[in-house]
């Protein structure tokens, strides 16, 4: 992989991980157009950079994290169970680009459905389990994790700010789990200068994306992202199946 490709992928990871448009889908697309083999290990490496972004952004929310720890653990179970059980199958799906039109369409449905969401509920065991199931679906490239979890929380009546904070509390254990599952990132590191720059670029753009998403959620324009993901889905459908 060239230095430019590595830096570009780092930028894409940071700018799309938290915005509800699927970082994994965009990374796969970029690798496809650059004639690179999609690598789950490289995705996990960059995901670790955005995990650091979350930890820095939410450094003042330790009390919120601890007070909702029981809910975070329950919501993490579906993704953890499916990630371990179907690790090989998920890796195969990651290596194929042709599922992306469908997966981006799923993200679009999640996002658009929040257009008329009302705030009328609080977190409870039932709601967090449903949010956790939505997060498990986001193991598929093209299905946005933040989009699926925030949208599900909003549809369940959770306030926008709590949906935002809870979604990224969930990001922490899931990212750590992905890092542990793909142990080659830890056990066999090859941290060239370019990879380090890619990591830092992903971290910095991840922080900026978090600030932007928080502002968008407060303005209740979250569903606007569905226009983008639906457009991507349609374009990819024509590209892969009708050309």
Full 3-state SS string of 187-202: HCCCCCHHHHHHHHHH
Ranges of residues in the chain with a pLDDT under 70 are 1, 37-41, 178, 181-191, 243
Residue 182: phi and psi, rounded to 5, are: -100, 75
Q: How far apart are CA 71 and CA 134, in angstroms?
A: 15
- Sign of the CA dihedral with 189 first, then 18, 139, and 153 last: positive
pLDDT, tens digit (0-9, with 9 covering 90-100), for 137-172: 988 889 999 999 999 999 999 999 999 999 999 988
Cβ(24)–Cβ(43) under 8 Å? yes
Here the tokens at position 182 are 């793909």
123 closest CA partner among 57, 167, 177? 167
94 closest CA partner among 165, 35, 42? 42
108 closest CA partner among 240, 222, 216? 222
Q: pTM of the entire structure?
A: 0.88
Tell me, what's the pLDDT at 183? 55
Tell me, what's the pLDDT at 193? 80
Tell me, what's the pLDDT at 39? 62
Q: How far apart are CA 138 and CA 80, in angstroms?
A: 12
Q: How far apart are CA 84 and CA 114, in angstroms?
A: 30
As a whole number of Å, the end-to-end CA separation of the chain is 28
Tell me, what's the pLDDT at 119? 81
Residue 188: phi and psi, rounded to 5, are: -130, 60
């Amino acid at each position: 992989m060239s230095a430019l490709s590595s830096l570009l992928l780092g930028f894409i990871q940071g700018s799309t991980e938290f915005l509800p448009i699927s970082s994994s889908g965009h990374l796969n697309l970029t690798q496809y157009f650059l004639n690179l083999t999609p690598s789950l290990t490289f995705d996990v490496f960059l995901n670790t950079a955005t995990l650091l972004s979350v930890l820095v952004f939410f450094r003042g929310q330790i009390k919120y994290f601890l007070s909702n720890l029981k809910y975070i653990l329950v919501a993490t179970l579906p993704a953890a169970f499916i990630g371990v059980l179907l690790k090989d199958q998920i890796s195969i799906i990651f290596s194929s680009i042709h599922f992306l039109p469908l997966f981006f369409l799923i993200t679009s449905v999640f996002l658009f459905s929040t257009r008329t969401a009302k705030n009328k509920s609080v977190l409870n065991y039932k709601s967090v389990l449903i949010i956790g199931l939505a997060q498990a679906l986001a193991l598929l490239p093209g299905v946005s994790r933040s989009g699926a979890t925030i949208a599900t929380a909003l549809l369940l009546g959770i306030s926008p700010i709590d949906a935002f904070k809870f979604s990224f509390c969930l990001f922490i254990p899931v990212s750590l789990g992905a890092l542990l599952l793909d142990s080659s990132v830890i056990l066999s590191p090859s941290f060239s200068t370019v990879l380090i720059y890619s990591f830092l670029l992903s971290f910095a753009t991840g922080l900026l994306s978090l600030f932007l998403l928080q502002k968008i959620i407060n303005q209740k324009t979250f569903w606007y992202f569905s226009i983008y993901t639906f457009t991507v889905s349609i374009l990819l459908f024509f590209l892969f199946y009708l050309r």
